[in-house]
Amino acid sequence: MEIVLNGQPTALVGSTTVAGLIAQLGFTGKRIAVERNGEIVPKSTYGVTALVAGDQLEIVIAVGGG
């Protein structure tokens, strides 16, 4: 299955959820925001939001500083 992740075509093996993709990318536990097909995905639904071929995702990591 192929999706577009942060503007880049990305191949995924099998089906997965937003939570699964976050884990694959090593972003678990990080402060991130996920947009899927132009809509923000609430963190509470990451585990049940299935990805499908052609989805366009933007994942932004929050960076703190002082």
Q: What pLDDT score was predicted for residue 66?
A: 63
Rounded distance between C-alpha atoms, residue 2 and residue 11, angstroms: 4
Structure tokens at 3: 């999706």
Query: Do the domain assignments include residue 6?
Result: yes
Query: Do the domain assignments include residue 33?
Result: yes
Range of the domain at 25: 2-61
Here the CATH number for the domain that contains residue 52 is 3.10.20.30
**For the chain, which residues score pLDDT lower than 50?**
none
Q: What pLDDT score was predicted for residue 14?
A: 86
Rounded distance between C-alpha atoms, residue 29 and residue 27, angstroms: 6
Query: Do the domain assignments include residue 30?
Result: yes
Residue among 13, 40, 61 at smallest CA distance from 49:
40
Q: What pLDDT score was predicted for residue 33?
A: 97
pTM: 0.90
Query: Do the domain assignments include residue 66?
Result: no
State residue 44 phi and psi, 5-degree precision: -65, -15
Query: Do the domain assignments include residue 53?
Result: yes
Structural domain total, the chain: 1
Q: What pLDDT score was predicted for residue 16?
A: 93
Query: Do the domain assignments include residue 45?
Result: yes
Structure tokens at 36: 């899927």
DSSP-derived letter for residue 54 is T
Q: What pLDDT score was predicted for residue 59?
A: 97
